[in-house]
Structure 1
């Protein structure tokens, strides 16, 4: 495999050393095209819809037990929320290229292809990854027509005048979500789960992170994209990180530009919602980001201007540090890092004790020391 397109010397990134994980499977079962949607359960669908509209989603379907939220681009819903007794993330759905791929995956996994509900259309193969998370792979779903987009502003850049006699007045309104970008998941069985997604869904790694001083023990986080050949895909559609328990970390949704993101953030702040971290620009993926908490505590991200990679780029490698999460912006907050005192950090602390007592996961004392170093870096 050629490495002439490795993204070396960007900030602190380097390519792989001899014998390290190649970041892709040699013969994957299928190659998914994209992340189709994310599924959640919540007791209060009306409350979920209020936040969703403030965040910039549009409702595409709602009844007593189900809420579908979409962006402006044509396609499927970005988020599906079903009524449940408690708030929880129930899994991602990936888009297969065609029915033949779906049948191939079903045969490999030893499961059946089933029909999705009429309000979605199409077919699905449902599986469990090594962390126990339900993963759907779908095809043939109804396509929602595009909605009016939020038009990016015209900028005067340097000496180039593109806007004259016209002041800039971006309205303070919800940043209109265009599409689902990625989801980040934590797992105590990181390497096993990573290989499962690469081998079954044909995903490929854009960047690996490792705990400082522990590179020889292997990576502990990966940013993973779809393999569309020569067609560029998002730097990451899925990101996975090692941790003491399997859980949702955050999901990200594209908006038009920085002004839409910033003005939308002002709208959310005025509405009383909590900004977790932002505004800044990431290193891995390069996105301009802004993170918020919904009413149920789920972390969600507005992003714009993310990297797009084709299949020629090999993985970058870098140490995992809190300061290495952004090129510019405020320091990563305790809330974003999961160390702010509260229910979530207490649950994580309890899961650390549980994971250290078990031998069926990758989270040991050495990895715990590495994780604590990240939080203090």
Structure 2
């Protein structure tokens, strides 16, 4: 029997580092962040933002006309905070410290004050800035909201196993209930500085590095980094950093119960007139099932399920970056997802390219050629 060609040969990242390459972790980090706490945005129309949030599967817990807090079904703090502003913009991530002492240690190491968070959240915060200029918060002792009734995974007859007998599957065409915030992806013109900042200050560790094919000797251009919880497994990536011509938000991801919830929830979003960017498929780095959508303000948001979990013993993998290497199966990555769809988004990116090439940063002509090659492969 002839064996079919595997288009992903050479794209998986089980291969490790070469001598002298980045180790993927700091030798003596200041603290070790426990998880992402929430993401903060500004948007001009909170009513429109709330309508999409409900369709996407969030539960609003605070809606004042000036501020909107969105949560998942897991216990904890809200996972998205939106304030009313003159324009739509991403303000930054907040990370949860393992203990209040870590917030105090980080404040002392960086020379930043510790402040009380608003009463609606509780707890304390130290406000930092990464090398890209992004506002990064580290919090502790926030008030935990109780769990909500979850959307339970469906029972499947897999292979010869038949746990579901005399019963049918009828997943409702309804919002896929968000369980929790999973990760945020950020683009930076100062990739190496920014990566090392997160590894040193927040104790994060790299799960996978990607590099431009043929230019591995220049170092990686993307990293998927996770929280270091020791022997307790953590998400394959809590933050992903990629080198690009502008410092910006790329997307954020929110866990749902399973593939049926994702697919039926996607049908609900489509019927409500929302725009799918790319999906459904399964990623390579992280392995998660994915489905990407654009909210009314143009932000890219992802439903995901069934992602990898790594403990602190695993060293980083290394792989070349390519558009086809983004997924094991599913439709090809779209122009919208890659940021090359004709329109305002691609024009902004083009202007950013010309600006970045004139400035002193890590995005140079060779990196631009590598990025263009990625989009074509």
Question: TM-score over 0.5 for the alignment?
Answer: yes
Q: Spell out the pairing of 1:199-278 with structure 2 (5 A cutoff).
A: 199-278=200-279
- Distance in 2 (CA, whole Å) between partners of 1:283 and 1:370 is 20
In the alignment, what sits opposite 2:183?
Answer: 182
- Counterparts of 1:139 and 1:323 in 2: how far apart (Å)? 40
Measure, in 2, the Cα distance between the counterparts of 1:95 and 1:343: 35
Cα distance change of structure 1 residues 130 and 12 upon mapping to structure 2, 3 Å threshold: closer
Deviations 1:132-186 (Å, cap 9, x if unpaired)? 0000000010100000000111011111110111111000000000000000000
Match of 1:92 in 2: 93
Distance across 1 between alignment mates of 2:220 and 2:226:
17
1:184-218 CA-partner distances (Å, limit 9, x unpaired): 00000000000000000000000000011110000
Task: Give the match for residue 375 of structure 1.
Answer: 375
Q: CA deviation at 1:87?
A: 0.2
After TM superposition, list the pairs within 5 Å mapping 1:142-153 onto structure 2: 142-153=143-154
Alignment partner of 2:232: what SS? coil
Q: What TM-score, normalized by structure 1, do the two folds share?
A: 0.97
Aligned residue in 2 for 1:81? 82
* Structure 1 residue 99 displacement after superposition: 1.1
How many Å apart are 1:9 and its aligned residue?
8.1
Equivalences, count: 369
What are the within-5 Å matches in structure 2 for residues 108-123 of structure 1?
A: 108-123=109-124
* SS of equivalent residue, structure 2 residue 108: helix
SS of 1:60's partner is strand
Alpha-carbon distance between aligned partners in 2 of 1:194 and 1:12, rounded to the nearest angstrom: 19
Name the Cα RMSD after superposition. Answer: 1.0
- TM-score, normalization by structure 2: 0.97
The answer as to whether partners of 2:13 and 2:317 remain within 8 angstroms in 1 is: no
1:337-376 correspondence runs (5 A) = 337-359=338-360, 361-376=361-376
Match of residue 297 from structure 2: 296
Say if 2:132 is the partner of 1:131. Answer: yes
Matches of 2:289 and 2:139 in 1, distance apart? 30
Residue aligned with 1:164, SS: coil
| 2:46 paired residue number | 45
Q: Displacement, 1:335? A: 0.3
2:345 alignment partner, SS class: helix
For 1:372, what is the secondary structure of its paired residue?
Answer: helix
2:47 and 2:13 map into 1 onto residues whose CA distance is 45
Question: Could you list the runs of 4 or more consecutive aligned residues of structure 1 that deviate by over 3 angstroms after TM superposition?
Answer: 8-13
Q: What is the distance in 2 between the residues matched to 1:19 and 1:343?
A: 41
Q: Distance in 1 between the 2:11 and 2:349 partners?
A: 33
Deviations 1:242-265 (A, max 9, x none): 001100000000000000000000
Deviation larger for 221-230 or 57-66 = 57-66
Q: Secondary structure at the match of 1:278?
A: strand
Aligned counterpart, 2:6: none
Structure 2: runs of 5 or more not aligned: 1-8
Distance 1:101 1:311 in 2: 19
